Amino acid sequence: MSLEAFISYLSLEKNYSHHTVTAYAKDISVFVEFCELNYQLSSIDDVPYVFIRNWIIVLVSDGLSNRSVNRKIASLKAYYKFLQKIGRIEVHPLVKHKALKTSKKIEIPFSFEEVEKALNAVNFNTDFEGVRDKLIIGLLYATGIRRIELVNLKVKDLDLKGKTIKVLGKRNKERIVPLAPFVCPWVAFYLDSREALPVINDKESLFLLKTGVKVYESLVYRIINRYFSKVSSKQKNSPHILRHTFATHLLNEGADLNSVKELLGHSSLASTQVYTHNSIAELKKVHLAAHPRNKK
């Protein structure tokens, strides 16, 4: 019952996405199974920290990365904080827990040349799917929006006259993002192709399958991976890397960090600062090439 209440709390009060809520529920369910199997407990509401520590040992022994273990423990921590909030427990068992050490993950963005090749050199089909795929890549690079934000775009969110798009971000926060001029004709062309579909079952959603229903997240991932694999040797070709690329390219061209923060829909500047690593690397190259003392 507590777990059901927690899931409702995440969905209704915290406004977490379905994907996030599902991940939290899965992590907690796995811990419940562990306690049932090893300690004959059907409820985890009141467990000592040693049970959680033993679960961590099992997870690490099974080859799970420290980052993945930390994510599972974060789910548990959120659950116990919720139990505190509703007065079910006084002190949660993870109050003194320290996260496992993880190496800092630096994601390498696509170069400008790679993006240009993906948008111009790659042969897109002239049918509906080819037009749609090119716009998906172009819109992700032009706006830096998240994959789920792109999937949830509505036709009414577009303002081609004002060259803006309304985006529904995390926790149902709306923001207006400018549309780069290069992508506007592609939007118009896609809308014509969309209108010509034999059947449109989902009239509100912007991006559709050729069957007339809304696209889904894994399809967007496959589209980015398919086209960028043709022009990039990177192991990871994903929508998130394209978002990372958007932010890095803006910063490299002198954009203000606060402005990039607003465009990305980040709630804090700390989230945006992870994108400055590659910008600083670019600045170092410019400094090395331009400073007169470096030329001696």
Contact 205, 153 (CB under 8 A): yes
Cα separation, 28 vs 14, whole angstroms: 18
Cα separation, 11 vs 158, whole angstroms: 27
Q: Map tokens 């529904």 to a residue.
A: 168
Candidate list 132, 134, 146, 194, residue with the active-site label: 146
226 is catalytic: no
Candidate list 92, 132, 243, 261, residue with the active-site label: 243
Contact 67, 109 (CB under 8 A): no
Q: Map tokens 């959120």 to a residue.
A: 78
Candidate list 71, 163, 214, 240, residue with the active-site label: 240
92 is catalytic: no
240 is catalytic: yes
141 is catalytic: no
Cα separation, 171 vs 142, whole angstroms: 23
146 is catalytic: yes
98 is catalytic: no
Candidate list 166, 170, 214, 277, residue with the active-site label: 170
Q: Map tokens 């607003």 to a residue.
A: 262
Q: What amino acid occupies position 34?
A: F
Task: Show Cβ contacts of residue 242 under 8 Å, excluding neighbours closer than 6 positions.
Answer: 110, 137, 140, 141, 224, 228
What amino acid positions are annotated as catalytic residues? Answer: 146, 170, 240, 243, 266, 275
